[in-house]
Structure formats: structure tokens, C-alpha cells
Structure 1
Amino acid sequence: MTDNDQIQPEVTDAEVQEETQAEAPEVQEVKVANPNILTISDVENKKARWYVVHTYSGHENKVAETLKQRADTLNLTHQILKVLIPTQEKIQIKRGQRKTIREKIFPGYMLVFIELSDQAWLAVRTTQGVTGFVGIGNKPTPLPKHEVETIQKYITQGALQYKAEFVEGEAIKITDGPFNEFLGTVQSIDEEKGKVEVLVSIFGRETPVELDFLQVQKV
């Protein structure tokens, strides 16, 4: 038996499935100008409208990819055109570390740009992870144009917001500044500025102190 005739190791179904899952892309990783949009087709369809679809929270990206695959398989890419999952970048401060994250604005929802034919409706409705369309009764209601424009404008705003890892009324520890090592209680949070107001006991009385997110951590 020559080198070319050597038996190749058998690849199991589980290994194939694991490799496929590892390679499956997520909506946020799609390299497009707008990271919120997964484009299924660039076909122009004047009958297409934006509809809101309810999904299992936390599964929006996976549902969008599954819908794209179904549209390809069912030859419906001329009717199912785009998926929009509104997200916004935020700066998360955790354990003193600063990290930029992309947070979903409407968890459990995504917008689908489709021509609502019976076939397209059924393809979306029966996609794994979809729980239904948003509308009146059993009839999906298209989003007004001005609402879509408002959402698109909001998600493309350049200013980053901060995301707090604590809530009002929670006990925290100050890790930097003149009140280092003091314990306090969160009184208010300003995610836009990355500031937190903490009540600290000084000389037997509670005094409000404004700090950066980087200067505090959860107890």
C-alpha cells in the first residue's frame, strides 16, 4: 500500500457539526458599513416593508443567520431582504477594566425588511427562535417610515455611552481617589457621562460623592 493509499481517519457527524457551528458567523461580525444590518439580498423590491419580529431574547443573531439560510434555501431572497438588530456601542467598566461592547437596544426583537407574501410570512414565522410578528391580532403591522428612520438614526449616533455594572441602592467599594477603600451606596448613575454618585459616611453623616465608573467596583 502506497502513501496515497493510506486510510484517512474517519470524520464523525459530531465533529462535522462541531466544526460547522464553530464557523457559523454572527450578525455583529458581518463586515458591512452598518454592523446592525444583515443583508440577505440587494434586490430592489418596492413592496417590501419593515416588520418587527419577536424572538427568544439573546438569540437574535442566531435567528437572523438562520433566516438568511432559509431565504436562500427556499429561493425567497427577492422577498426577504434584510434583518436589522438595533444595537449601540457602550463602554463597560468591570473590575477596573474598560471594554467597548455592543448592546442590543430592543432585546428579543429584530426588524425584517420583507415583502409580506404568504411564503415569506411562513418562512419567517417558522424560523427556529421566532415567536411571532408584532401587529394587531394575527396581522403583522409594518413600521411607519418615520419610526424606522428614527431607529436607524439613533443606532448610528457616534457618541458612546457607558454601561454600569451596578444599580441604584447597591453597596460598592471606592477603589481610587481620596476616598479609596471607602464603602458606599449608589445614589444615582449617569451612563452618558460615566459618572456615579455615591453616598459615603464621613464624620458620621452620609455625604454624596461623584466618581467615575473606573473609581468604584461592586462589593
Structure 2
Amino acid sequence: MADSAKWYVVHTYSGYENTVKATIEKHVENRNMHDLIHEVKIPLETVTEITDNGPKTVERKVFPGYVLVKMVMTDETWHLVRNVRGATGFVGSGNKAIPLTEEEIAALGVEKREVVVSYQVGDTVKITDGALESFLGTVEEIDLDHSKVRVVVSMFGRETPVELELDQVELIQQ
């Protein structure tokens, strides 16, 4: 049943995001619906604001007026979330809630997928996917936050830096 749980976007009145989140979590607890509603999130970003008193770090909502809910869509869960005070409905067409795609989830950073890399800066790697498949190169930079790796590949006698996904390269055993 956990496989059918998807992320849905719930539209709320502005400023009611925390109330809607807390209310949904309370209903899940009271009705023992942990198997149907898995997670409720409000995407936040940490921002440093410069004020008269110096820099101040604050958390700001990335999407004011929206709450993300990972749930199995049933009539019961739809009604529970839809009837929460402060929630105006699901994002979708008409009364049909449309779940987020895997790409949207990755772009929003809702679910962190940890990629363990077996290579480091300076290692020789082989490109396993994309236009430069089977080319060899040297790792110049690894950006874990954006899941990117920069590899310097020798093409036509010139060193060319190429940015790839972390899983598009593999370490060459020497």
C-alpha cells in the first residue's frame, strides 16, 4: 500500500499553512490513519536577511499558501484533507487531485535521495550514460547538493569540462 502513496499539493488560505499541517497530522493521529497519510510538509528555505541589527537567519516558506501531503488517495483521505479548516482544496482539475511527478518531487527537494559516490576529485571515471557514453575523464568537482559532477574529458585533443549527474559516471578500477 505504501507504493501507491503519492505527493499531493493542498491549497490553503495564506498564513494557514502551519494550522492546516497541524490539523491534518492531528486527524491522522486521532483516526490512526498512518498507513494512508504518511507525511505532511511545508517546504521551507533558510534565508539570511541583513537588518539594522546585523544579519539574521530566518526560515521562509518556499510556496506560501501550499502544503504538500504524501498520502494514498481514497475517498476517506480526500474528504479528511479537503475538509480541514483553512484548506481550500487540492491542486488539480475540478475535484480530481493530481499527484506530483517524480521530476517535480526531485526539483522541489521534498524527498532527499542520497547518492553514494565511489569516486572523488582527481579520479579517472568512465561516462556510462548520455551523449559522451564510454568516454573517459577526470573528476574535477563533485556537487552533492545538486547531484552533479564535473568531469574533464579529452575531445579532439582538447580538455573539455562536462557537467553530468552523479550516477552517469563510474570509477575505473586501476
TM-score by length of structure 1 reads 0.49
Answering whether residue 77 of structure 2 is matched by residue 120 of structure 1, we say yes
The Cα of 1:153 is off from its aligned counterpart by 7.0
Q: 1:9-24 maps to which residues of 2 (within 5 A)?
A: none
Match of 1:127, SS state, is: coil
**Aligned partners of 1:83 and 1:154: how far apart in 2?**
12
Match of 1:143, SS state, is: coil
The Cα of 1:141 is off from its aligned counterpart by 0.3
The Cα of 1:94 is off from its aligned counterpart by 1.8
Residue by residue over 1:76-128, the C-alpha shift from the partner in whole angstroms, topping out at 9 and shown as x without a partner, is: 11101101211110001122421100011100001100000111111111111
Paired letter, 2:105: V
Higher percent of residues as strand = 2
Answering whether residue 36 of structure 2 is matched by residue 79 of structure 1, we say yes
Per the alignment, residue 51 of structure 1 pairs with: 8
Q: 1:150-165 maps to which residues of 2 (within 5 A)?
A: 150-152=107-109
Match of 1:46, SS state, is: helix
Per the alignment, residue 106 of structure 1 pairs with: 63
Equivalent residues, number: 115
Per the alignment, residue 116 of structure 2 pairs with: none
Per the alignment, residue 131 of structure 1 pairs with: 88
Match of 2:2, SS state, is: coil
Match of 2:80, SS state, is: helix
Answering whether residue 44 of structure 2 is matched by residue 92 of structure 1, we say no
Paired letter, 1:141: I
Superposition RMSD in Å: 2.3
Q: Which 4+ stretches in 1 moved above 4 angstroms?
A: none
**Aligned partners of 2:110 and 2:12: how far apart in 1?**
23
Q: In terms of mean alpha carbon deviation, does 127-136 or 88-97 score higher?
A: 88-97
Q: Which has the larger radius of gyration?
A: 1
**Aligned partners of 1:76 and 1:103: how far apart in 2?**
29
| Structure 2 unaligned spans of 5+ | 113-143, 146-174
Match of 2:106, SS state, is: helix
Residue by residue over 1:43-100, the C-alpha shift from the partner in whole angstroms, topping out at 9 and shown as x without a partner, is: x711100000001112211211111000111221110110121111000112242110
Paired letter, 1:48: A
| Structure 1 unaligned spans of 5+ | 1-43, 159-219
Per the alignment, residue 20 of structure 2 pairs with: 63
2:103 to 146, 156, 159: 146
